[in-house]
Structure 1
Amino acid sequence: MKTIKLFLRLAIAVGFLSASADRLGMWPKDISAWGNWNSFLEYTHVLNPWVPDTLIPTLGTVATAAEIIFAIFLIIGFKTELFAKLSGILLLIFALSMTFSIGIKSVFDYSVFSASAAAFALSLLKEKYLEVDILIAKKKH
C-alpha cells in the first residue's frame, strides 16, 4: 500500500508539473499542447467562456500556481490528504469545465476524471510513507 500511495502522489504531481511546464514554454514545441502562456490563456477562455476576458489571465495564473503548489506538496508529502483532496477538486473542476465547453470526449481522452478519482483515492490513504508529515509528527511528540 505504501508504494501505491507514493506512486499516486508522484503521478498526480508530475502531471501537474508537466502541464505547468508546457504552458510556460518549457517543453519542446513538437511535443507541447500549448507551448506558451498566450496559447494556454486562449484555451482557458475556451473552457471558461462565461468568465470576462479581463479575468482570464488571473484564472490561468491561479490554476497554474495551484497546480505547482499542489505538486510540490504532494511530492514532499506535506499535508498529503489535504492537497490530494484539493487536487481532486481542481481536476474535477477542469473536467467539468471541459465537459460543458468542448464536450466529454476530451475529458476521457486526457483521463481527467481518472486523475481526479486518483487524487480523491490518495486522500483516503492515511498511512504515511516518505512524507515530510512523518518528520513533523515526530517533532510534535
Structure 2
Amino acid sequence: MKLRLTSFAQLFARIALGLGFLLPVFDRLGFLGAPGSAKVAWGDWSHFVAYTHQLMPFTNINTANIFGLLATIAECVLGVCLIVGYKVKWMGLGAAIITLTFAVFMILSLGISAPFNYPVFVFTGAGLLLYTHQNFRWSIDALLHNRKEF
C-alpha cells in the first residue's frame, strides 16, 4: 500500500508542479485572457515583463525582458518534463532552484509576505521531494529504465 501511495503522490506532485509552471506561461502569452481579465495575472508579455522588472528593479526593461524569456523557457521545459516524467529527479531540483530564486526576488522587491501569498515555497519543497526519489512510476524515466533491463 505504501509503494502505491508513494507512486501516486509522486505522480500528483509531478502533474501539479508541471501545470504550476505551464499555466503562468499560458497567462503571460495571453492564452488565459486579456490583461485585466478575472483570474489573469498578466494577460500578455508586456505586463509580464513589467512584473519581472518590478522583481528585478536593478535591471533595465530590456534585461528584464531577457530574464523573463529565460524563465519562460525554463518553466516550459520543467513543466513538460515533469508532466511526462522525463528526468524527474533533475527537473525536481530545477523546479526547487527556480522557485526559490523567484521567492528571494519577491522578498527583496515586494516584502517577506509576498511569496507566502502564493505557493512558491510549496513548489520549492515539492521539487526537493521529487529530487530525493530515485524511481518514478508512470513516467518516461520508468519506461527507459525498464527498456535498459531487457
Pick the aligned partner of 2:16 from 7, 11, 20: 11
Does residue 1:118 correspond to 2:123, yes or no?
no
Task: List gaps (5 residues or longer) in structure 1.
Answer: none
Q: Which structure has more RCO (C-alpha within 8 Å, separation ≥ 6)?
A: 1
| Number of equivalences | 141
User: 1:83 & 1:38 partners in 2: Cα distance?
Assistant: 28
Following TM superposition, by how much is the alpha carbon of 1:78 offset from its aligned partner in structure 2, in angstroms? 0.6
Give the structure 2 partner of residue 41 of structure 1.
Answer: 49
1:24 has 2:50 as partner: no
In terms of fraction of residues, the more helix-rich structure is: 1
CA distance in 2, matches of 1:115, 1:137: 27
> Which TM-score applies when normalising by structure 1?
0.95
- Stretches of structure 2 that go unaligned for 5 or more consecutive residues are 1-5
Q: Give me the whole-angstrom Cα distance separating, in 2, the residues matched to 1:101 and 1:72.
A: 29
Which deviates the most, 78-87 or 124-133? 124-133
Following TM superposition, the consecutive aligned residue runs of length 4 or more in structure 1 with deviations greater than 6 angstroms are none
RMSD of equivalent CA atoms: 1.1
Counterpart AA for 2:24: A
Q: Which has the larger radius of gyration?
A: 2
The equivalent residue for 1:96 is 104
